Structure 1
Amino acid sequence: MKDKTIDYIFRTTWLAINKMYNEEAAKFETSMATGFALLSIDPENGTASTSLGPKMGMEATSLSRTLKSMQEKGLIERKPNPEDGRGVIIHLTEFGREKRAYSREKVLTFNEAIRKNVSEEKLESFYEVAGIINNMISNKKIYNQKEHILK
């Protein structure tokens, strides 16, 4: 794998994880995006629709489609935000809570399997490297550095 670029390894690994979760979700006529949304919504107080996209790292249009589908399946309901009349709070229905528990179980199973096969030291290194990469990207330290500007 050392001959592969770092982004290639991240991309192919993420695609494999995405495929795995979607295959599991398809057994219940749903998707990974729906499972991720279920896990991102506060089961007690709901979550403001405006904070859900950034929390999930999803674009508004994709999130809108996902939420519409979830509402049609009876997983969520939208209620006016009592603190901001223009906003909406997304709440899980009882059915949504059941599916959230299922999604949580699948994520924990994945994590447990990885932890059984990868040492804590290697996982810590993985988290550290991923954190550094995320920090560099969010602080525009890759393509937007002054050193990269040709004089």
Structure 2
Amino acid sequence: MDKNKSIDHQLRATWQAVAKMYNEQAAKHNSTMATAFALLNIDFDAGTPSTALGPLMGMEPTSLSRLLKTMEDKKLIYRMKNPNDGRSVILKLTDFGKEMREVSKGHVYQFNNKVREYITDAELENFFKVTTTINKLITDKLVYEDINKDAV
């Protein structure tokens, strides 16, 4: 199959280009795309339970722990006990974290607005329909259905 006509190749190549672009922008602020993504996923006012952040970001606990430690060291976040559950922790943005969250948000808006200059609403609607369908096929485990379950 021609790699340029392979769905997974196009998804991977596009995501790598987007990630590289965001990392280049984040580096200008002594940051990374992962840090910016975490800032955008922590509730601006109420904070976010640490246990909820990993699933929001699709990160493994070990990677998330390292990221949060780095973010604490950079004074972007702090941890406070969850008043509703003493066993869990709420991640809160510092004033600097809120400032950097807005910078990150600005970069996301800029990217989205630039893409929208070149892609019609109908094309974007189709893009979202396609990506939603792909995600559903994967989530519902319909891509590699085991036809001969009993044959093993």
Corresponding position of 2:127: 126
TM-score normalized by the length of structure 1: 0.94
Corresponding position of 2:71: 70
Change (3 A) 1:34 1:3: closer
Corresponding position of 1:12: 13
Structure 2 unaligned spans of 5+: none
* Maintained 8 Å contact 2:3/2:9: no
Cα distance between partner residues in 1 of 2:13 and 2:96:
33
Q: Deviations over 1:91-113 (max 9, x none)?
A: 00000000000000000000000
Cα distance between partner residues in 2 of 1:14 and 1:85:
39
* Percent identity between the two aligned chains: 50
Q: Deviations over 1:4-31 (max 9, x none)?
A: 3111110110000000000011011100
TM-score normalized by the length of structure 2: 0.94
Does the alignment pair 1:94 with 2:108? no
Structure 1 unaligned spans of 5+: none
Cα distance between partner residues in 2 of 1:67 and 1:10:
28
> Which consecutive segments of 4 or more residues in structure 1 shift more than 6 A?
none
Matches within 5 A, 1:28-67: 28-67=29-68
Task: Name the Cα RMSD after superposition.
Answer: 1.5
Partner AA of 1:100 in structure 2: R
Partner AA of 1:70 in structure 2: M
Partner AA of 1:16 in structure 2: A
Cα distance between partner residues in 1 of 2:22 and 2:148:
39
Partner AA of 1:147 in structure 2: I
* Maintained 8 Å contact 2:47/2:90: yes
Shift of 1:84: 1.2
Corresponding position of 1:147: 147
Change (3 A) 1:148 1:129: farther
Change (3 A) 1:147 1:11: same
Cα distance between partner residues in 1 of 2:150 and 2:124:
38
- SS, match of residue 42 in structure 1: coil
* Maintained 8 Å contact 2:23/2:33: yes
